[in-house]
Amino acid sequence: MDGFGSNARWYARLAIVAVLAAVALTLTRPAYTSGGGPSGSLALSSPGIPLRPASTVVVRTKSSADLDRVAAYAEAHGFSVNQRAPALSALRLVPPDSVGVDAAIAQLAAVDGVAYAEPAYAMTRADAPADPLYSREATYLDVERAPDAWGIETGKASTLVAVLDTGIDLSHPDLQGRIWTNHREIAGNGIDDDGNGCIDDVHGCAFVSDPSPGCPAALDGNVGDDLGHGTFVTGIIAANANSTGMVGVARGVTVLPVKVLDCDGAGDSLAVAQGILYAAKAGARVVNISLGGPADSAILREAVRIAHDDYGVLVVAASGNTGAVGVAYPARYPNVLAVGAASGVEPDKRATFSATGPEIDVVAIGQDIVGTVPKSSCGVFLPCLPGGPYAVGDGTSFAAPQVTGLVALMLSHTPTLKADSLLGIVKATADAVPPGDRPDWAGAGRIDMLQALERRFRLGAPGVARN
């Protein structure tokens, strides 16, 4: 798989936009140690999320007049004043190396003017998932402020997200309960029960009628993933928070599988166009397209236009992995949210493989991204991480679904938002990044999930429209 392939091939095929990296070692956090304070330790984290040990002491004085005197006492006895909080008549103190936290509390509590002393209790965000791979995901999701955004919204099942790709592994343990079900269709009877043009589409529809040599055709309800790319993308968007594996950006939403690429990750513009309209008619509000090509297809452009204008769908698409100037199609079309990739090590810089151009709207981190994969794809699509059907990869293919997940959170929180408003808010709330080697690599900047969800709209004075 070499990204987009040649221009000539595009006229017959769309190739997946995944540049894949070797699997690195899973990151770990330090083990939790109790601070040993008189009241124990306060944990707001989910089970399994370790907390740092308490190493400082908080002292509250009986009055603000006592604050300076207690601080002077502490410094005279080897404590360091780490912080003053005058509004609370409080100090944060670091004990001398030879004094433990318990002993420090006992010593300070006996000082005249001290109301009480206690450990600086360790806390962490309330919604930090307990999934084992989350510590790995946190290296990029923390930068994009996903955990803060989850305090507002984690995604609702009523929000339907379509993934146009190689299909989805419907049996993956981290995707259970996240896959769309068409209750108007009877499985396996060979009849288009609901009259939507797709037979037996109980969990989505496939449009691969002209596969690559060696790949089977896949039509109607045959949405199984015979490569792994689509399952990987889906995990980034919606993997469950179930203390197993990983967690998706919008863990509570529903995903509609639409298979438009074959076992080689190839497809054509007609298949993708059909997939877009199928998703729009099924009720998807946002469509993730982690694929593309270098040529402008009239049929694909028309499908994007219909989905946007007639159904209010926002298409989120990867910009491409050529590393050169020239955003891929359909990301290049108007009304499509085009996503580039930022570096994992230096999030303010471009990932070297990420295509650039004025059509890029925003970027998300695109390196060392964790995703779900079918067991059958381990070692074929990507090497799987130890202990389960998960892998790590690079590419704008894996930056785009982070943005799709953000849009799904926004729709879950405010279902009345229209496609153009969603695109505008994602751009308006992005964090600007330096131009670096190419000024058009990042569009409005790197996504900020918290800011996008906190965005408020207000009416101004009569005759004045403002956000």
- Per the model's pLDDT, the better-predicted residue between 125 and 75 turns out to be 75
Annotation marks residue 63 as catalytic: no
Instruction: Answer yes or no: is pLDDT of 418 > 50.
Output: yes
- Per the model's pLDDT, the better-predicted residue between 124 and 122 turns out to be 122
pLDDT of amino acid 466 = 40
pLDDT of amino acid 54 = 62
Active-site option among 229, 268, 290, 377: 229
Provide the 10 A C-beta neighbour count for residue 207: 24
Reading the block at residue 143, the tokens are 């930068």
Mean pLDDT over the full length of the chain:
86
Considering the chain, what percentage of its residues have pLDDT values greater than 90?
Answer: 78
Active-site option among 131, 148, 165, 368: 165
pLDDT of amino acid 9 = 34
Strand, coil or helix: 367: coil
Look-up: residue for tokens 């999934």?
A: 131
Instruction: Answer yes or no: is pLDDT of 50 > 60.
Output: no
Q: What is the side-by-side order of every strand in the sheet holding 286-289?
A: 218-220, 205-208, 254-259, 160-165, 286-289, 314-318, 336-342, 362-365
Instruction: Answer yes or no: is pLDDT of 393 > 80.
Output: yes
173 vs 122: CA distance, rounded Å: 33
Annotation marks residue 262 as catalytic: no
pLDDT of amino acid 456 = 55
**pLDDT tens per residue, range 361-379:** 999 999 999 999 999 999 8
pLDDT of amino acid 53 = 52
| AA identity, residue 199 | I
Does the N-terminal peptide bond of residue 330 adopt cis geometry, omega within 30 degrees of 0?
Answer: yes
Instruction: Answer yes or no: is pLDDT of 30 > 70.
Output: no
Range scoring the smallest mean pLDDT among 11-20, 111-120, 269-278, 368-377: 11-20
Q: What are phi and psi of 115, to 5 degrees?
A: -75, -45
Nearest Cα to Cα of residue 169 among 389, 3, 402, 380: 389
Range scoring the smallest mean pLDDT among 105-114, 122-131, 407-416: 122-131
What torsion do the CA atoms of 39, 42, 48, 54 make, to the nearest 10 degrees?
Answer: -80
Q: Which run of H or of E encompasses 206?
A: strand 205-208
Active-site option among 397, 412, 413, 431: 397
The confidence band for 224, taking pLDDT boundaries of 50, 70 and 90, is very high
218 vs 210: CA distance, rounded Å: 9
178 vs 79: CA distance, rounded Å: 53
Nearest Cα to Cα of residue 13 among 26, 2, 27, 24: 2
Question: Cβ distance 266 to 390 under 8 Å?
Answer: no
Instruction: Answer yes or no: is pLDDT of 37 > 60.
Output: no
Instruction: Answer yes or no: is pLDDT of 387 > 90.
Output: no
Reading the block at residue 32, the tokens are 């939790």
**pLDDT tens per residue, range 241-263:** 998 899 999 999 999 999 999 99
Mean pLDDT within 310-323: 97
251 vs 89: CA distance, rounded Å: 42
pLDDT of amino acid 135 = 93
pLDDT of amino acid 88 = 85
Residues paired with 292 in a beta bridge:
15
Cβ contacts of residue 268 below 8 Å, gap of 6+?
12, 13, 14, 210
Instruction: Answer yes or no: is pLDDT of 44 > 50.
Output: no
Considering the chain, what percentage of its residues have pLDDT values greater than 70?
Answer: 84
pLDDT of amino acid 60 = 95
- Per the model's pLDDT, the better-predicted residue between 255 and 83 turns out to be 255
β-pairing, 390-393 vs 80-85, is unpaired
pLDDT of amino acid 355 = 96
Annotation marks residue 397 as catalytic: yes
